[in-house]
Amino acid sequence: GILLMKSFSLVKVILLILSALALAEEIPGFDTVMPVTEAVLDCIEQTGRRTLLFRGFMFPGKPDMVGIKNAKLANTRGIVGLYFSPNARLDPKKQVEEFVKAVNEIQQDMEVKVFINTEDPKFWTNDIPANRKFAEGLADAMKGNDQIMLLAIMTSQKSYETIFGSDYQGFSDMFVVYVHHDGSPHKTDFKPFGGWKKPVGKQYSPNQQLCGIVANLDTVFTDITRQNPISMNSII
Q: How far apart are CA 208 and CA 217, in angstroms?
A: 7
In contact, 197 and 206? CB cutoff 8 Å: no
Q: pTM for the complete prediction?
A: 0.84
101-148 residue pLDDT tens: 999 999 888 888 999 999 999 899 999 999 999 999 999 999 999 899
Q: How far apart are CA 222 and CA 226, in angstroms?
A: 9
146-167 residue pLDDT tens: 899 878 999 999 999 999 999 9
Q: What is the CA radius of gyration of the chain?
A: 19
